[in-house]
Amino acid sequence: MDGSKRDNIEPGLKVAIVQKHHQRTGELTEGIVADILTNSLTHPHGIKVRLETGEVGRVQEILSR
């Protein structure tokens, strides 16, 4: 599933994100989407979301529907 399309992402979805300070290393953080922060329909680097833990990053993978 493509993390660069807003239509594929919804609150409650389990995803893997890359946080701003991990962009160089590509370290991923897994969690549940609480809020979608990107307003546009697509973003080449992934849709920005806030996880339930408060961490913010861009979706790299959608792990479960």
pLDDT tens track for 11-26: 999 999 999 999 999 9
pTM over 0.75: yes
DSSP letters of 9-57? Answer: --TT-EEEEE-GGGTTTT-EEEEEEEEE---SSB-TT--EEEETTS-EE
**pLDDT value of position 2:** 83
Residue 65: the pLDDT is: 73
For domain 6-64, the CATH class is: mainly beta
Instruction: Give me the mean pLDDT over the 30-59 stretch.
Output: 97
Tokens of 48: 């920005």
What single-letter amino acid sits at 26?
A: G
29-39 tens-digit pLDDT: 999 999 999 99
Give me the chain's average pLDDT, please: 95
Q: Domains of the chain: which residue ranges?
A: 6-64
